[in-house]
Amino acid sequence: GTTLGPLAPDIADLRRKAAATLLRNWRGSATVPTGTLYPHQWSWDSAFIAIGLAHLSPRRAFAELTALHGAQWRDGRVPQIVFNPAVPEDAYFPGPAFWRPLPRQGPPAGVSTTGLVQPPVHAGAVLAVADRHPGDAADAAVHRLYPRLARFHDYLFERRRVASGLVAVVHPWESGLDNSPFWDEPLGAAATALADDITGLRRDLRHADAGHRPTDDDYARYMGIVAAYRNRGYADDDLLSLPFCTVDPLFCAVLAWSEQALAELARRTGADPGRHDERARELTHQIHSRLFDPALGCYVALDARTGRHLPKRTVSGLVPLLLPDLPARRREALLATLTGPAFGLGSPPVRGVPSYDLTASDADPHRYWRGPTWMNTNWLLWTGLRRQGETRHAEHLASDMIRLVADAGFREYFDPVTGEGLGADHFSWTAALLLDVLA
């Protein structure tokens, strides 16, 4: 039920093209985000991809997540990237060699990964796929995946906990919103470690416009932060001594949402849902009480090293719409921010929800997570709005998402005002999440 108006795009054609994009990016056991820029398997991409694959083949949707969890570390972490051994070392930077040595608590023998995580959308995705196709095959997949998902969440809750109950990320890449304005201050404080010519090392610039990507200075700092974590064997003791340690509202809200899904998956496998319910409640409470900024009308990130809030309006700060028990006044405040001048939902020409406050002096409609509209964050908001019973806003958002893709193709991100397609083309989660919105 979307409100597309008289010039409705050809929905059957969009569905066909979305399916073709996912097929094109399938590599036998998993899907790449896109063949050129990202030739390996990415963690949260696979979760979003599974949500879309559920509309084409539930078997493939579960296979996608099973492949990802096959690279799970012994300490429970599910890695940000699982490297495809058939792809040359220098096809992506930083490639497998940069992350080595992987520690003993790392991935199974012979599997190459990074040492970071990404937002844990996976349990929510597994529940969504299972609910779309109830039956023996889904039950079997849930039984197989539940212990893996639970171990990943155990890792996050036990090893990544800071500031009495919130869960931290130790690299901007872990937030999934790499160059988010949230990270300007903490990243500025982190030393750049590599003196080498970073431009020469970067592979992303061969496939995407430099003006649409993070800067060289960002990359130099990204590498320095990885090196510090790697040099201590990716150990999570004393997290605050790492060069970067922050709490991100999207990451925490997605974890709380997924932890609730995990409680339901536990019930279905006969495991005890109690500890999941408890963790979800506790984290939700912490997010609501510690991360909301009333002056900005949204949630904000926290620099765990300094204890300071990072007061910016980014799309991450709206994602707690996913959470239950949102007090009415809080919901009203978030909706006002969402539909106000900063994000412009429902105010043409703005289409979809941009990644950053449109009115901020440093907003850039082309640069990655500093302005453009992305399908995955829009899908999270669409899911949150529906959960809050905000049907009209949800329908508006869905029709914006459809229009963006109908006009510009299956791009990685979009100019929030002109709708111009940006970044890579043939982008998997754009296709996958469009299928879900169209269902």
SS (H, E, C) 345-395: CCCCCCCCCECECCCCCCCCCCCCCCCCECHHHHHHHHHHHHHCCCHHHHH
Point out the residue whose Cβ comes nearest to ligand 9WN.
Answer: 33
Residue 301 CB, nearest distance to ligand 9WN (Å)?
16
Residue 130 or 431 with smaller CB distance to ligand 9WN: 431
Based on the shown chain and the rule CB under 6 A, indicate whether residue 176 belongs to the binding site for ligand 9WN.
Answer: yes
Residue 124 CB, nearest distance to ligand 9WN (Å)?
16
Based on the shown chain and the rule CB under 6 A, indicate whether residue 178 belongs to the binding site for ligand 9WN.
Answer: yes
Residue 53 or 142 with smaller CB distance to ligand 9WN: 53
Please report, as residue ranges, which positions from 192 to 211 form the binding site for ligand 9WN (by CB under 6 A): 204
Residue 38 or 379 with smaller CB distance to ligand 9WN: 38
Phi-psi region of 92 (alpha: psi -120 to 50; beta: other; left: phi over 0): beta
Residue 408 CB, nearest distance to ligand 9WN (Å)?
17
CA–CA distances in Å: residue 3 to residues 88, 185, 398, 416, 436: 46, 40, 8, 19, 16
Based on the shown chain and the rule CB under 6 A, indicate whether residue 174 belongs to the binding site for ligand 9WN.
Answer: no
Based on the shown chain and the rule CB under 6 A, indicate whether residue 299 belongs to the binding site for ligand 9WN.
Answer: no
**Alpha-carbon span 33 to 341, nearest angstrom:** 32
Residue 332 CB, nearest distance to ligand 9WN (Å)?
30
Query: What phi and psi, each to the nearest 5 degrees, are found at residue 321?
Result: -55, -20
Residue 174 or 264 with smaller CB distance to ligand 9WN: 174
Residue 178 or 400 with smaller CB distance to ligand 9WN: 178
Based on the shown chain and the rule CB under 6 A, indicate whether residue 259 belongs to the binding site for ligand 9WN.
Answer: no
What H or E segment, with its residue span, contains residue 253?
helix 249-269
Contact 208, 178 (CB under 8 A): no
Contact 426, 24 (CB under 8 A): yes
# residues contacting ligand 9WN (CB under 6 A)? 10
- Mark residues 20-59: x for contact with ligand 9WN by CB under 6 A, - for none: -------------x----x---x-xx--------------
Exposure string for 249-274, b = 16+ CB within 10 A, e = fewer: bbbbbbbbbbbbbbbbbbebeebebe
The helix/strand/coil state of 166 is strand
Residue 42 or 99 with smaller CB distance to ligand 9WN: 42
The most distant pair of C-alpha atoms in the chain lies apart, rounded to whole Å, by 59
**Choice from 73, 83, 99, 173 touching ligand 9WN (CB under 6 A):** 173
Residue 220 CB, nearest distance to ligand 9WN (Å)?
14
- Residues marked as catalytic: 178, 412
**Alpha-carbon span 306 to 296, nearest angstrom:** 21
Burial (CB < 10 A; 0-12, 13-18, 19+), residue 4, is: middle
- Interface residues with ligand 9WN (CB under 6 A) are 33, 38, 42, 44-45, 80, 173, 176, 178, 204
